[in-house]
Amino acid sequence: MSLDVAVVGATGYAGGEILRLLLGHPAYLSGELSIGALMGASSAGQRLGALMSHLPQLADCVIEETDISRLGNFDVVFLALPHGHSARVAEQVGDDTVVLDCAADFRLRDAHTWTKFYGAEHAGSWPYGIPEMPGHREDIRQARRVAVPGCFPTGATLALLPAVQSGLIYPDVVITSITGVSGAGKKAAVAFLGSETMGSLKAYNVAGQHRHTPEIAQNLNEFSQEPVTVSFTPVLAPLVRGILTTATAPIREGISDAQIRESYEKFCAKEPFLHLLDPGQQPQTQDVVGSNMCQLQVQLDEYSRRLVVTSAIDNLTKGTAGAAIQCMNLICGFPETAGLAQAGIAP
């Protein structure tokens, strides 16, 4: 098997992370996978080495103007574009090409919700790229198109899914996620200047306004017997990478801390990228930097009778590019873990 891969939007944070992971993939190192084209818009014509010196293997590659007509020549295309741009590209790529979209264009199934949160016409939905969601791994394996999940929904879904699926909680969840600035992308904006973010925390898009709120709700509702209500608050922190999520929900009568623990242990035991920490430990973003892991901790707050779950992911790896590579592996027949670190960088 020989795969030729293209990355569109190659010089953004997501595109750069996809390239970093591909360069360490066993198929790339063996010659089974080649990176055939790096495409972009504002960076077209420039050497990648001048823009991303942390990828020396590709330093002499020149960023090409995005040419949709050429994408059908590749076996796998990664779209690392802003929301609203992928649909136009994907519709012109033949079904023989695997397309992995890191934007939100095909994540939501409800057209009205998409239009409300993204302000554009709904392009449809694709198989959703969290393999850890029951049934999704099988769907991804058979797919030629995959909607890579959002970073916040990844951390929140993996935190709450075992409890929702097992019926441990009433479906009224409150989620707070603290994120690093790379989640906003590689665009110039005053709000993300160092002088604006260092030494400060700020909530934003609160009270149901964040675009990832309906995505989280969609994921949890898939496994709930009752409609799930999601209250989601994102918080910007002076970090480069990482999302720490705290999720709470009321526990049903008669559910014990031991039952909760057992449910999460059972769910995580078969998943290579989920790690339930020992009791007393808490997830930390610094422990998952550069890895495709999601660290979890779960407890019952006896006083309030609420479940408390915390998760930590690297928003650029498990939250975006790592998920895309994980899906590529499933579709192309590679081991699911190929090219994806389970160990973080510490200290």
Rounded Cα gap, residues 286 and 71, in angstroms: 37
Query: What does the angle CA 342 – CA 76 – CA 45 come to, to the nearest 5 degrees?
Result: 100
Query: Low-confidence residues of the chain, pLDDT below 70?
Result: 1, 184-188
- Domain extent listing, the chain: 3-148+320-332, 152-313
Residue 245 region, left (φ>0) first, then alpha (ψ -120 to 50), else beta? beta
Q: Give the largest CA-CA distance in the chain.
A: 63
Rounded Cα gap, residues 143 and 95, in angstroms: 10
Q: Give the C-alpha distances (Å, rounded to integers) separating 178 from 38, 239, 258.
A: 32, 9, 28
Instruction: Enter the CATH code of domain 3-148+320-332.
Output: 3.40.50.720
Q: Strand, helix or coil at 253?
A: coil
The pLDDT value given to residue 166: 94
CB-count exposure of residue 171 (10 Å: 0-12, 13-18, 19+): buried
The pLDDT value given to residue 187: 65
Active centre residues (catalytic): 151
347 cis-preceded (ω within 30 degrees of 0): yes
Q: Which DSSP string do the residues of 71-123 spell out, in sequence order?
A: HTTSSEEEE---TTSHHHHHTTS-TTSEEEE-SSTTT-S-HHHHHHHH-S---
The pLDDT value given to residue 188: 63
Candidate CATH numbers 3.40.50.1370, 3.40.50.300, 3.30.360.10, 3.30.70.1340; the one for domain 152-313:
3.30.360.10
Rounded Cα gap, residues 173 and 241, in angstroms: 25
Rg (CA), the chain: 20
Q: Which DSSP string do the residues of 121-159 spell out, in sequence order?
A: -------B--TTSTTHHHHHHT-SEEEPPPHHHHHHHHH
Whether the CA torsion 245, 54, 324, 66 is positive or negative: it is: positive
Rounded Cα gap, residues 130 and 219, in angstroms: 10
Residue 62 sits at φ, ψ, to 5 deg, of -100, 130
Q: Give the C-alpha distances (Å, rounded to integers) separating 27 from 23, 328, 339.
A: 9, 12, 8
Going by the DSSP 8-state scheme, the letter that residue 301 receives in this structure is: E
Q: Which helix (H) or strand (E) holds 268?
A: helix 257-269
Rounded Cα gap, residues 136 and 147, in angstroms: 11
